[in-house]
Chains A and B, each alone.
Chain A
Amino acid sequence: KNQVEQSPQSLIILEGKNCTLQCNYTVSPFSNLRWYKQDTGRGPVSLTIMTFSENTKSNGRYTATLDADTKQSSLHITASQLSDSASYICVVSFNMNYGGATNKLIFGTGTLLAVQP
């Protein structure tokens, strides 16, 4: 069964501190893994995307890692800011069998991050 699990479920950190969010998946066949940020009351926004051949990808203070062998990914946030408070969702995708027009995405349950001053 295709599943994406994230931990922790929620996290509170102080402004300026670093944190790491975890994602484990059992999706197969694997196509790519994405991290999305969802602010309260908004739709998710893509942060990073990686294929099985990529180990790390950065986007500003966000750095995602991927271990395709163990099927694990992490999202590291450096020098957190108040605006980082959001839900972070790990999404794993695979191509559907009709010519690859669309990837089917499996969403994790997310990690709710609260950055406090």
Chain B
Amino acid sequence: DTAVSQTPKYLVTQMGNDKSIKCEQNLGHDTMYWYKQDSKKFLKIMFSYNNKELIINETVPNRFSPKSPDKAHLNLHINSLELGDSAVYFCASSQDLKVAGGLGADTQYFGPGTRLTVL
């Protein structure tokens, strides 16, 4: 059973296009995240949602818009794609600390990643 899944795994598109990446978790977690991993393998958080509410919104261009239809899904829509958007995007989820408590209860579980290539 896949805990955190993302689609598509690979996405190749032209500059200026609009694309979406979907993420789903079946762990019953309340919090979901989007991370961007650049060519130097540095992981940087983009967004975090807790129970469908936006919690973390780092300095990300407003061309990136997350959407959470329910707490099991957090999709990432990207408008007007640019060359610099090429990266691997990881979705992750964790429990709500207020509910779970305890060390490690908020361990993040990552999806397999989506490799986006903008030509």
Asked whether, in the complex, the Cβ of A43 is within 8 Å of the Cβ of B112, the reply is: yes
**Shortest beta-carbon distance, A80 to chain B, in Å?**
20
Type the 1/0 row for B33-58, where 1 means its CB is closer than 8 Å to any CB of A: 00000001111110010100001100
Tier of interface size on chain A: 20 to 34
Tier of interface size on chain B: 20 to 34
Q: Assess A49 versus B41: contact at CB under 8 Å? Given A96-B56, A99-B98.
A: no
Asked whether, in the complex, the Cβ of A89 is within 8 Å of the Cβ of B110, the reply is: no
Type the 1/0 row for B17-44, where 1 means its CB is closer than 8 Å to any CB of A: 0000000000000110000000011111
Whether a CB of chain A sits under 8 angstroms from the CB of B60 is: no
Q: Assess A109 versus B42: contact at CB under 8 Å? Given A43-B113, A102-B94.
A: yes
Task: State which of A46, A96, A112 has its C-beta within 8 Å of the C-beta of B41.
Answer: A112
B97 CB contacts on chain A under 8 angstroms? 95, 100-103
Asked whether, in the complex, the Cβ of A41 is within 8 Å of the Cβ of B113, the reply is: yes
Residues of B at the A interface (CB closer than 8 Å) are 4, 30-31, 40-45, 48, 50, 55-56, 90, 92, 94, 96-98, 103-104, 106-108, 110-113
Residues of A at the B interface (CB closer than 8 Å) are 32, 34, 38, 41-46, 49, 51, 87, 89, 95-96, 98-105, 107, 109-110, 112
